[in-house]
Amino acid sequence: MKKSKTIFYVFTASAVSLLISTAILTKNTEPEIEELSNKCPENYTKIPEFDVDGDGTKEKRFCLMKYEAKKSKEGLPISKPSKKPWTNITQTKARKKCKALGKRYSLVSNQQWIQTAKIAASKEYNWIKNRKGESALYRGHSDKRPFHALEASSNDSKGYHLTGEKNGSQRRTTYIKKPQDNKNTNNPHETVLWDLAGNIWEWNNNSFTCSEQSCPESPRPTDSSNHEPTEITAPGTHINSMELLRPNDKWNSSKNTGRIHTTGIKAIPNGSTHGFIRGGVWYDKKDAGIFTLHLKQAPNHSSPRVGFRCSYTPTT
């Protein structure tokens, strides 16, 4: 009979620690990812399905960063109230950073932004004094005071956080569903967004190429003007076809919807590809709003006034 051999392996303490850590991660992380795919990540807000373009078909639900993206220690976008927003980033880089979070993450698209804005505008509690269509929408930190971007608050009842105001148009919170007793629930899936209008401009995932020759319709990105949404009426205009800019045929910046910013030169810093930027910045006043669209910058533009936020698409 042959003698069986016994082989002994010697592990260092660090190797054992690595094996244990790997086993724990393998066991716990995979189910967590699978479960998360059906709900929103922490500090992302649920945006329900909604018929954005009135064609009878509802666009899919998704999750949107509750706060403007902040930069984590690992150099990834994170949704949290503390710290000022991540700015000085190009549209191209913002796309890559959102995708780096996982396969279901992306830079918020223009369609998702419009879906969010239209839902928000349909709720009376996003209008000053709850007077939908009669007063004006809240437009966030946009009156130059203070003259810089602001941190958010973890308490959603403090919608005027750091603005120096207690009422009026500068409320920084936009509700997708009715706030419950005006109290902070500390729920990572609650239905409020911070700074959808004002504070900083935010990249959307969309861009288009349009020069003076290839875009003969008016208004166009080379018009050098800030247009009221009500000006975009002709169904054949390039801007109108780019995505459902008007929440209502009669609402304009007097309702704090915001304006459409165009330029008389090529995209900044160069080229004829224009990236979509939404929301407005801390000094825009009536140019800021949840429907504001900025078409002046190229995807390789960066600015201390432009940031972004990511979206997440659940499996169902």
> 136-158 burial by CB neighbour count: b if 16+ within 10 A, else e?
bbbbbbbbeeeeebbbbbeebee
- Asked whether the predicted pLDDT for residue 6 surpasses 50, the reply is no
Structure-block tokens of residue 107 = 């830079």
Report the pLDDT value the prediction gives residue 182, as an integer from 0 to 100: 44
Choose the weakest-confidence range: 22-26, 44-48, 68-72, 260-264: 22-26
Report the pLDDT value the prediction gives residue 152, as an integer from 0 to 100: 98
pLDDT tens track for 73-96? 999 999 999 999 999 999 999 999
With contact defined as beta carbons under 8 Å apart, do 126 and 175 qualify?
yes
> How far is residue 120's CA from residue 136's CA, in Å, rounded to a whole number?
12
pTM of the model: 0.83
pLDDT tens track for 263-287? 666 788 988 888 999 999 999 999 9
pLDDT tens track for 200-225? 999 999 987 776 555 655 556 556 67
DSSP state letters, 205-257: EEEEE--TTT--SSS-TTS-SEE-GGG---TT-HHHHTS---SSTT--GGGT-
Report the pLDDT value the prediction gives residue 226, as an integer from 0 to 100: 80
CA 248 to chain centre: 22
Eight-state DSSP code of residue 114: H
Q: What is the mean pLDDT of residues 188-202?
A: 88
Q: What is the mean pLDDT of residues 227-241?
A: 59
Report the pLDDT value the prediction gives residue 281, as an integer from 0 to 100: 97
Alpha helix locations (H) across the chain? 13-36, 91-99, 110-121, 238-241
pLDDT tens track for 25-58? 333 332 233 345 678 999 999 999 998 877 889 9
> How far is residue 175's CA from residue 120's CA, in Å, rounded to a whole number?
6
